[in-house]
Amino acid sequence: MIRGRDSKAVTLQFKVELNVKKANVVIWIPVPGDESTPQSLQGVENYQHVLAGALAEGYIQNAAPITDARLGYLGFVFIKLLGDDFLLNPGDRLYFAQDLAFFVRALLSVATNSQHG
């Protein structure tokens, strides 16, 4: 959670599942709508440059967003394939951790600017 310019908290819901050969990153992006409005890709356009950056770094995006699991959010699944020696290579682990931190920080920045801009 970070605080926007007007001190309102902005949160990002995500999870990272790491196994030996890959990492799954699921990100929940808030979208306009309520119980009577089905979720759509409206509101996600602000995140396109962040999602494109993840693709450029080797993440593979699931073609279809998750639309029915959490009201008011769209879920995006990204898969990052890891090298065979990922667990033994501290440089690869550090790069993955730093890259994931940049990804999350960029998503939070967009969420902050979208909510307050």
Q: What is the pTM of this model?
A: 0.76
Does residue 107 contact residue 10 with C-beta atoms inside 8 Å? no
Residues 44-62 pLDDT 10s: 788 889 999 999 999 999 8
Residues 98-109 pLDDT 10s: 999 999 999 988
Which is it for the CA torsion 103, 45, 3, 30, positive or negative? negative
Encoding tokens for residue 28?
């929940």
Residue 68 pLDDT class (50, 70, 90 cuts): low
